[in-house]
Amino acid sequence: MTNAKPVRILLLIQGIYFALTGLWPFIHLRSFLWITGPKNDIWLLKTVSALIIAVGLTLLVAGFRREFNGAIFTLVLSSALGLMAIDIYYALHDVIWDIYLLDAVAEAGIILAWLVVFLKVKSRITRP
């Protein structure tokens, strides 16, 4: 349990960003493909999107319940870091469109914000 407002705000921001990003291909596939480029395997796009939605919803639940622990911290950082690394690697190798570099910037911002907040409130993180 945490009462740290910055932690809760970041959980909600990242949760909303992930949930909306993951929902987009389900809500309007055509606009998603128009912005991000064509995909060979729509089933894979939807699988990844469903997983991003799951992470986003988990972060939203944690934010609303004011729960933050080592597992949630691992999830916020590893999910943002993983998506950022994939965005950068495949955009620079011309596998995906460069628009994904904007997402990489967003993910980097999320990571930086978490590191700053963690350093300020690390004593409030509950440990199992």
- Residue 83 in contact with residue 107, Cβ under 8 Å? yes
Q: Quickly count: other Cβ atoms within 10 Å of residue 32's Cβ.
A: 18
Neighbours of 105 (CB within 10 A): 13
Stated pTM of the model: 0.90
Q: How does pLDDT run across 20-32, given as a tens digit for each residue? A: 999 999 999 999 9
* Confidence grade of residue 33 (pLDDT, cut at 50, 70, 90): very high
User: Can you give the residue ranges of every domain in the chain?
Assistant: 5-123
Residue 124 has pLDDT above 90, yes or no: no
What per-residue confidence (pLDDT) applies to 126? 53
